[in-house]
Structure 1
């Protein structure tokens, strides 16, 4: 549903409308949608064959219905008209974040709504590898074999829940709309009211594989803390890139600047409550930052500092050093 932008995802397509300052500094373009190679998409059925319990949850989720609900919505049709899009289901500008799409007959076509590979990476290189149990029966692998299998799967493009920084960036790459004209011209919302704990632990939560569907556990408090902090930094990282590469001070730049300002207050509170080194460094990088198109060089430099803090936090924290933010975490009743 286009107002909610309920999609999760990672990547690398080029944004239209990058400002001259950004071009001169050779800043990488903003990520768009899943951004995975559609020729490497194998389809949700390859996953649901084994992950039946997770599939049952997905089929009832908002993600599942995005590619059918959005094109039928009045808002979706209105945006498409303004952008000169005749067929929503044939346009990558829409499909990138509202579907999992594959390549067929030399065309991009939606395989489903937002599904397994949108969140976990195009599966051609890893879908068989990750489930082969090193050539043994399930439960017979050694710890070393399991570790090697996961490393190989990750190297082949799989995004696993342990890769928390990558997962967060993947989600944010659609929840912060990565296209200036889509907002300024099309009237698309600049983003959704996204927060990683609330959005990952609600409607789409599918933590039920190892219990064979008997339980769908909410993440531990330590995991929630880390999701909150990493998600906040991932969002700030991309918002700064959005403002830092914006061509005009239109709705796109203004909305992202406002969103960043609100997150900066949260970051200040989290850094004060935890004294966590990476959060403190992140705050120092943005505390006095002015969000103006005349200040894009400094904005993009600050984004790089946030990147370093995000990667550092994800690599070193297990959540135990973030106890001070417990009061900032969403209640279960607020999960999306």
Structure 2
């Protein structure tokens, strides 16, 4: 099963490499209401997050308006730059804030397959069409890092520099566990699908390491976008932290030697189900966003 998921994950990764992340494949998104039909509890969690509320708020922000103007656009909800991360875009129109497909991939090609209860291979088949399953930790983390690191593959370097110089946030300390286990946590898994389950420390240790792997790849790819000093410094901070954390993990050797998405994904698979609390337990966050 794991090998099949990995092969399908690699296929999905190829789609991501071609089309980009987060705001990309906008024409192929179906929107959060389509997911709500089956994932009601997860949708309710999303409605309590800044990702949800930002749709009605963020475009009103004074600083946000200044950034939009600086990149040459008039309205945030019609800005191709802002749409990369801040919105779920359907048929060219911003319809919601960051939502299900921002992390799990544009669903038009796979949602019917995913919903086919008569197909015993529905998950694997949907992954083959681009779904980023919850087991694909690296790919989900990569989408987080893409936006929170101001590193979307479709974001030009000069635009990123302009945004940063106009005080657009770039948090080099963004950490996967701290953010994924806070208000956005939606872990409704069998056998208790009604409970939003908390992770064990062992699970958090894997997420922590995979998050650092995704940050390393994201920053390594982004740092050549521009020679803007602020941007380069932030990406170097991300790289340095990731190398510090991953340096003591033998499974990360190939990734450290060549920080690519393929190696990041392989690293995630190699450590899945293991316990690294002895190595990173003291670094795990105790409070969440």
Q: Distance in 1 between matches of 2:262 and 2:31?
A: 34
Structure 1 regions of 5+ residues with no counterpart?
Answer: 1-9, 14-27, 136-144, 286-301
2:5 corresponding residue in structure 1: none
2:179 corresponding residue in structure 1: 199
- Residue 82 in 1 paired to residue 70 in 2? yes
After TM superposition, give the deviation of residue 281 of structure 1 in Å: 4.5
Cα–Cα, structure 1 residues 211 and 46, in superposed 2: closer, same or farther, change >3 Å?
A: farther
Structure 2 regions of 5+ residues with no counterpart?
Answer: 1-12
- Deviations 1:38-58, CA, capped at 9 Å, x for gaps: 221112111112211111111
After TM superposition, give the deviation of residue 35 of structure 1 in Å: 4.2
2:52 partner SS = helix
Q: Is 1:53–1:209's contact at 8 Å kept on the other side of the alignment?
A: no
2:231 corresponding residue in structure 1: 252
Q: TM-score, normalised by structure 2?
A: 0.83
- Deviations 1:49-68, CA, capped at 9 Å, x for gaps: 22111111111111112222
- Deviations 1:279-318, CA, capped at 9 Å, x for gaps: 34545x3xxxxxxxxxxxxxxxx434xx454233212222
Q: Is 1:165–1:234's contact at 8 Å kept on the other side of the alignment?
A: yes
Larger Rg: 1
Alignment counterpart, residue 131 of structure 2, candidates 151, 154, 158? 158
2:85 partner SS = helix
1:240 corresponding residue in structure 2: 220
- Deviations 1:54-92, CA, capped at 9 Å, x for gaps: 111111111112222221112201111222210111111
Q: Is 1:63–1:113's contact at 8 Å kept on the other side of the alignment?
A: yes
- Residue 39 in 1 paired to residue 34 in 2? no
Cα–Cα, structure 1 residues 153 and 235, in superposed 2: closer, same or farther, change >3 Å?
A: same
Higher mean displacement: 315-324 or 230-239: 315-324
After TM superposition, give the deviation of residue 237 of structure 1 in Å: 0.9
Higher mean displacement: 117-126 or 314-323: 314-323
- Residue 335 in 1 paired to residue 288 in 2? yes
Q: Distance in 2 between matches of 1:314 and 1:282?
A: 10
Q: Distance in 1 between matches of 2:181 and 2:64?
A: 27
Q: Distance in 2 between matches of 1:231 and 1:224?
A: 10
Q: TM-score, normalised by structure 1?
A: 0.72
1:185 corresponding residue in structure 2: 162
Q: Is 2:203–2:275's contact at 8 Å kept on the other side of the alignment?
A: no
Q: Distance in 1 between matches of 2:276 and 2:162?
A: 41
Q: Distance in 1 between matches of 2:43 and 2:194?
A: 14
1:211-230 map, 5 Å: 214-230=194-210
1:134 partner SS = coil
1:125 corresponding residue in structure 2: 109
- Deviations 1:227-273, CA, capped at 9 Å, x for gaps: 11011011011111112x233243211221233223333333xx1xx
Q: Is 1:225–1:319's contact at 8 Å kept on the other side of the alignment?
A: no
Cα–Cα, structure 1 residues 11 and 280, in superposed 2: closer, same or farther, change >3 Å?
A: closer
2:244 corresponding residue in structure 1: 265
1:291 corresponding residue in structure 2: none
Alignment counterpart, residue 95 of structure 1, candidates 83, 93, 101? 83
Aligned residue pairs: how many? 269
